[in-house]
Structure 1
Amino acid sequence: MTKHQADEAEALLDAVGPAFGKLRRSSLLEVAEPISPKDLSRTLVLNIVLEAEQDDGREVTVGAVAEHLGVDPSVASRMVSDSIGAGHLERGASQQDGRRSVLHLTDQGRELMARFRRHQRAAYDQITADWSERDRVELARLMLRYVSCQEALRGRAKGA
Structure 2
Amino acid sequence: MAHSNERDGDDADAVLDSVGPAFSRLRRRAPSAGKDLSRNLVLNVVAERTGETTVGAIAEELGTDQSVASRMVSDCIQHGHLRREASQADGRRSVLRLTPEGDALRDRFAAEQRRSFEHITRDWPADERLQLARLLVKYAEDAAALRKLERS
TM-score, structure 1 as length reference: 0.85
How far the C-alpha of 1:40 sits from its partner, in A, is 2.3
TM-score normalized by the length of structure 2: 0.89
Identity, in percent, stands at: 54
Gaps in structure 1 of 5+ consecutive residues: 29-34
Partner of 1:37: 34
Q: Does residue 157 of the first structure (1) align with residue 150 of the second (2)?
A: yes
Contact 1:27 1:37 in 2 (8 A): no
Query: In angstroms, what is the RMSD of aligned CA positions?
Result: 1.7
Distance, in Å, in 2 between the alignment partners of 1:95 and 1:21 is 39
After superposition, the C-alpha distances for 1:85-124 in whole angstroms (9 at most, x for unaligned) are: 1111110001111000000111111110011111111111
Matches within 5 A, 1:1-160: 8-28=11-31, 37-52=34-49, 56=50, 58-159=51-152
Any stretches of 5+ residues in structure 2 without a counterpart?
A: 1-7
Change (3 A) 1:97 1:27: same
Helix, strand or coil: the match of 1:50?
A: helix
| SS of match in other structure, 1:96 | coil
Distance change in 2, residues 1:88/1:78 (3 Å): same
Code of the residue aligned with 1:158 in structure 2: it is R
- Name the CA distance, whole Å, in 2 between partners of 1:113 and 1:150: 21
* Whole-Å separation in 2 of the counterparts to 1:23 and 1:87: 28
Work out the CA distance in 2 between the residues paired with 1:36 and 1:21.
14
Q: Secondary structure at the match of 2:144?
A: helix
User: C-alpha displacement at 1:158, in angstroms?
Assistant: 1.5
3-state SS in 2 of match to 1:10: helix
Range 125-134 or range 148-157, more displaced: 148-157
Aligned residues: 145
State how far apart, in whole Å, the 2-side matches of 1:112 and 1:64 are: 21
Q: Which runs of 4+ in 1 moved over 2 A?
A: none
Secondary structure of the structure 1 residue equivalent to 2:124: coil
What is the SS of the residue equivalent to 1:27? coil
Change (3 A) 1:7 1:128: closer
Greater length-normalized contact order (CA 8 Å, ≥ 6 residues apart): 1
